[in-house]
Amino acid sequence: MVKISGERFASGLSTKHPMGAYLEALYHTGFYYTFIGIAQVVAAIFLIIPRTITLGALLYFPIIINIWVLSFALRFEGSFLTSPLMVLANLFILVWNYDKLKYILPFKKKSTSEIKENPIKYSNQFPFVFFTGVIITVALIVTLSQFGYEAMPRNSYSDCEKQFKNTKNEEAGIKFCECIHKNGKPLDECPKEFENAKNK
């Protein structure tokens, strides 16, 4: 809603932070910024109405994929864990509604003229495999979000410093945090400085 009302999203994030710089630039794109906000709200409304949930998932999918890739690219703590989980939830809705989507997908369509009888007994194999797959995937995402990057910018300088306290890379970590939060250098430069300081 902040995008529609003309406020900057995550306004407390410094513009020296990679995500803060991105959001500040996005905020100054005029009606494009408002358009993104409207698209997100429309997708949310469609997702809570049972009749339009498939349309909502189709509309929201490119939005959440973009947020996910952006969060990982900029190592943004705010949506580093939640965005991939939301991508999975969105994919689940799309797969669940495959019978509605199959007519627009570019796959070879099988004849539906045959009438198949319902099995006498349903197998429990699919639910077990599905939920096991979901648990493993969520565990992998949580693990990656916690240990995927050795150095995370975090949302503030103090939070950034805390991750390196009492570690062997404390000095290199402080330089990384200063590079991001005090010097405002691009994210692709700061990890290189961190690695160089670590190897000294």
Q: What average pLDDT does the chain have? A: 89
Question: Nearest Cα to 80, choosing from 90, 67, 93, 89?
Answer: 67
pLDDT (0 to 100) of residue 112:
57
By the 8 A CB rule, do 8 and 24 touch? yes
pLDDT (tens digit, 9 = 90+) per residue, 91-134? Answer: 999 999 988 888 887 876 665 556 667 767 777 787 888 889 98
Half-sphere exposure of 134 (CA within 13 A, CB side): 13
Would you state the pLDDT for residue 114?
64
Contact status, residue 75 vs residue 187, Cβ threshold 8 Å: yes
Q: How many angstroms separate the CA atoms of 11 and 148, rounded?
A: 26
The model's pTM is 0.83
- Provide the sign of the torsion angle of the four alpha carbons 72, 78, 80, 85, taken in this order: negative
Q: What is residue 157's predicted lDDT score, i.e. its pLDDT?
A: 93
Report the alpha-carbon distance of residue 165 to residue 174 in Å, rounded: 9
Strand, helix or coil for residue 1: coil
Amino acid at 161: E
Binned at pLDDT 50, 70 and 90, residue 11 comes out as confident
Give the integer Cα–Cα distance in Å for 136 and 200.
Answer: 38
pLDDT at 127: 81
Q: Give residue-wise pLDDT tens across range 18-47.
A: 999 999 999 999 999 999 999 999 999 999
pLDDT at 129: 87
Predicted pLDDT at 110? 65
pLDDT in tens, 39-68: 999 999 999 999 999 999 999 999 999 999
The pLDDT tens digits for 137-194 are: 999 999 988 888 989 999 999 999 999 999 999 999 999 999 999 999 988 899 999 9
